[in-house]
Amino acid sequence: MSHEGIRFVSKDEEARASQENRPLPREAITPQKVRVLISEGKGLEIDWADGHRSVWSFPWLREACPCATCVEQRNLEDRKPGQPKPKPAALLPMYAPPARPASAHAVGRYAIQLNWQDGHSAGIYSWEYLRRICQCSECTLAATDVAGIPN
């Protein structure tokens, strides 16, 4: 007679509940070094005070714009931050240059504003938001577990 197989709380469920709203430690949302590689057209790099390092490409960040309009649009289309719009298959492919900011500047001590070349500049990327959308393999793996959708 065995009483094995009794499980109390699934680890997955626990992780799912805590991941989204878990407050991040101060060092995790304090940038030590911020590099905006505009002339190279590369992207944004941040070294955090806790030793973590995040890198995003500009096109990815453009699709992750945190302004109300872009968030609403992504929700309507069921896209996650950074996920590009689906391209209509019927249209002839048109060349669009990859998104790139014309300029960037700090907003107080908590965020960076990217003024995109397409004229959109409403997005203020807070350090906390950026840390939460970190694209390193460690963080995306954790996010994939939570969402259950592979990238």
CB 28 within 8 Å of CB 43: no
Task: Please report how close the Cβ of residue 131 comes to Zn ion at its closest, in angstroms.
Answer: 8
Cα(82)–Cα(121) distance, rounded to whole angstroms? 16
Could you give the string, one character per residue 120-139, with x where binding to Zn ion holds by CB under 5 A and - elsewhere?
Answer: --xx----------x-x--x
Choices 9-17, 20-28, 84-92, 114-122; region in contact with Zn ion by CB under 5 A: 114-122
Say which amino acid occupies 145. D
Q: Give yes or no for residue 29 binding Zn ion (CB under 5 A).
A: no
Q: Which of 36, 70, 130, 133 binds Zn ion (CB under 5 A)?
A: 70
Q: How many amino acids of this chain bind Zn ion (CB under 5 A)? A: 8
Task: State the amino acid at position 99 in one-letter form.
Answer: A
Inter-helix orientation angle 11-21/137-147, to 10°: 110
Element (H, E) at 45: strand 43-48
The residue count for the chain = 151
Stretch that binds Zn ion, among 4-12, 35-43, 60-68, 74-82 (CB under 5 A): 60-68
Q: Report the distance separating Cα 120 and Cα 142, nearest Å.
A: 31
* 99 sits near Zn ion (criterion: CB under 5 A): no
By CB under 5 A, is residue 61 in contact with Zn ion? Answer: no
- Residues near Zn ion (CB under 5 A) are 65, 67, 70, 122-123, 134, 136, 139
